Amino acid sequence: MSRVPARPTYDAEVLLMPLRGETTHAHALFKRTYTFDRNGRCVLAPPEPLLHDWRDPAVERPLLGGSDFWLTKPRTDLVVQGAVCAPEAQQVVRMRAGIVIGSVRKEIAVSGPRAITWRSGRPVIGDPAPFTTVPMAWSEAYGGIDWRVAVPGAATMTDNEKIEAAIRTRFDHPGMYPRNPFGRGYLVETGEVEKLFAPCLEDPADLLTADRLVIRDPATWWRQPLPWCLDWTNLIMFPRAGWFAPSVEPWYPVTDDATLPEVQRGLLPADYRSHRAEGVDLRFFQGASHGLAIDRPATGATLRITGMHPERTSLDVVLPPTQAEITFVIEGRSTRTAARLHHVVVRPSDGVLTLVFASETALARPFIPGIHKHIPVAASLDGDDPVPFPTPPTARERMAAAQSPKTPA
């Protein structure tokens, strides 16, 4: 069933954590939706619902990218979704797209589809085909999985071990490019692969060349180009996956010194592995691509997006208010908090921008959903009417409902 926004001008969710047992904290999430005109002026619009609830059992968490339901983020994620659009819908073979806000800049080299073929035993990247649009998606960036790479020990596995390995290697395979398993162009083994294409989205400073196509040793994956995109990253991508726990590593772990491109370019701190938090590091919840987890942008700041609007080569969007106040009302007592801005998501072709704000507060006493009949917890955004915590039925109420006679249809 689709989610219905909580209010006419925003969606909201009030949660108690932890999810099981006695709760200690109340959390609140609020999502505002804006449309913007040709001058980049944002106007509050009918709200889009909060998306991708990680609590939903139907959500396949390893494939979850952006979620409006993460409870805390150290910085603000900046995300651009949609497609690269050729100027005036005229076919091109190459162009640039990107985003600029203040001192933050990210540019993407875009090319049409390029087939990878073999000539005299060597791979060759073909000329780009003309295009009018290319999805701004990780499937168009460098990466992928070379399924030809053997799983160590596969030859001597029992049938049950092979089944277990098949399940495990769906998201962790020795031929997987850890930075982006969903992309194109990653080859470990030599030899022709049918319908293989080079990436359409690339870092202009680190383009894929024919001499870098086949790496031969899967342990050297880290020497390959960084995948470049403006959309949400995925939970299983390196380095994001590693923030989940110190034990989470790619199939072939890497060094954390200056030989790693992410460290060289300041995208990861040196010795990051030894400074990871025990348990889940908060950086795990940052879903923006490299360079776009930023300090909170100021209200009125101009966000310039190039190459992603069907009618305009450059689009300037003036950010709406990026500050907000969330007030918790718990057993009649109010606690005002300054909200964090978790993310800014822009869809240039749709003329839509969304903001998600979040905050939390400690509970004076624990509540147990499913046990307590009344849980008087609510939260409001900028002084609006509070949104209540959706108290679930108690265990006794659920049992009574299950035992009550059914009314004939």
Is 70 exceeded by the pLDDT of residue 166?
A: no
Which residues have CB under 8 Å from 230's CB, separation 6+?
Answer: 79, 80, 81, 97, 98, 99, 106, 108, 136, 289, 292
What angle (nearest 5°) sits at the alpha carbon of residue 58, between those of residues 57 and 61?
Answer: 75
- DSSP tally for the chain: helices H, then strands E: 3, 23
3-class secondary structure, 84: strand
CB 138 within 8 A of CB 231: yes
- pLDDT tens sequence across 353-398: 999 999 999 999 999 998 899 999 999 999 999 999 999 888 787 7
Q: Give the confidence band of 409 by pLDDT, cuts at 50, 70, 90.
A: low
Q: Give the confidence band of 161 by pLDDT, cuts at 50, 70, 90.
A: low
In the block, residue with structure tokens 């050297």: 220
- H or E stretch at 402: helix 395-403
Q: What is the pLDDT of residue 1?
A: 46
Please tell me the least confidently modeled range out of 49-63, 103-117, 137-151.
49-63
Please tell me the least confidently modeled range out of 235-244, 337-346, 396-405.
396-405
The structure tokens listed for 263 are: 């460290």
Question: How many alpha carbons fall within 13 Å on the CB side of residue 168?
Answer: 13
Q: What is the pLDDT of residue 172?
A: 80
Q: Give the confidence band of 272 by pLDDT, cuts at 50, 70, 90.
A: confident
- H or E stretch at 396: helix 395-403
Burial of 107 (0-12, 13-18, 19+ CB in 10 A): middle
